[in-house]
Amino acid sequence: MNKSKILIIEDEAAIAEILEYGLHEEGYLTKIAHTGEAGLKVLAQFQPDLLILDWMLPDQSGLSICKEVTATYNIPIVMITAKSDITDKILGLEFGADDYITKPFDMREVNARVRTILRRVEQAHRHREDPGGSEEHSICFKDIEVVTSERVVKKGGREVDLTPKEYDLLLKLCMNQGKVFARSELLDDVWGYFYSGDTRTVDTHIQRLRKKLDIGDLITTVFSIGYKFNKIKDLNV
């Protein structure tokens, strides 16, 4: 059985051991690093499927590591932070993190978030490895093509690097043009689990989609409710 590999970069030994034990119980293969420098070395050798990254490390910030990892690797990142300020959490998402967990945490919550992220990554890999296994299906608008059989998004013919959640959020919106979605509804449908009541992570992902694809005119904010993908005549599904 192929086991997913998870790298834990956490300087507090007790917390790292709790994470390692809980993840082992779920069947994951893990490695631990206690500094950013050591973590980046292990990352290159271990080639994990997911990174759990502490916000505060003794040699450098988790944010700088997050930025470096997302620029080089295409792996999901879950940040663990003692910071309760929502601004700090959103900052982590903007630097490329896919999710975050606040200390102290419940291991059941960690496992639920890890399972959800890895399931989406596995679905994406399966589509890429066997694109012929499903009918070719593309959604086209403006200069953008969403190839659903491969979970690939292209702009002007060039592939745009979206995270699994960004892709799922875009697909949810553009397949339901004109429909208004509440933030909580998008969390349920895209993230797939209760997200601690923090709906502002949707705002962050919407901002990233608008920036990466230049579609601020298509994904609009519905005041006090959420978002919608505007109806367009040239949407080809």
Q: Is residue 41 part of a domain?
A: yes
Q: Let me know how long the chain is.
A: 237
145 found inside a domain = yes
Q: Identify which has the larger pLDDT, 65 or 100.
A: 65
CATH number of the domain bearing residue 137: 1.10.10.10
- Could you tell me the pTM of the whole model? 0.65
Q: Which domain holds residue 91?
A: 5-125
Q: Residue 19: give its domain's CATH number.
A: 3.40.50.2300
- Asked if residue 228 lies in contact with residue 220, where contact means CB atoms within 8 angstroms, the answer is yes
pLDDT tens track for 178-205: 999 998 888 877 766 544 546 777 888 8
Whether residues 195 and 104 fall in one domain? no
Contact criterion met (CB below 8 Å) for 52 and 78: yes
Burial 197-229 (b: 16+ CB within 10 A, else e): eeeebbebbbebbeebbebeebbeeeeeebbbb
Return the pLDDT at 122.
73
Taking the chain, what is the end-to-end CA distance rounded to the nearest angstrom? Answer: 38
pLDDT attached to residue 142: 87
Q: Do residues 85 and 64 touch, judged by C-beta distance below 8 A?
A: no
The percentage of the chain sitting over the pLDDT mark of 70, rounded to a whole number, equals 84
Instruction: Using the structure block, give the residue that is written with the tokens 């490695």.
Output: 31
Q: Which whole-number Å values give the CA distances from 136 to 2, 142, 148, 150, 206, in the listed order? A: 28, 20, 7, 8, 26
20 and 54 part of one domain: yes
Q: Which of 125, 151, 178 is the last residue of a domain?
A: 125
Q: Are residues 138 and 93 in the same domain?
A: no
Is 156 a residue whose pLDDT tops 60? yes
Number of domains in the chain: 2
d(C-alpha 124, C-alpha 126), whole Å = 5
Same domain assignment for residues 10 and 113 = yes
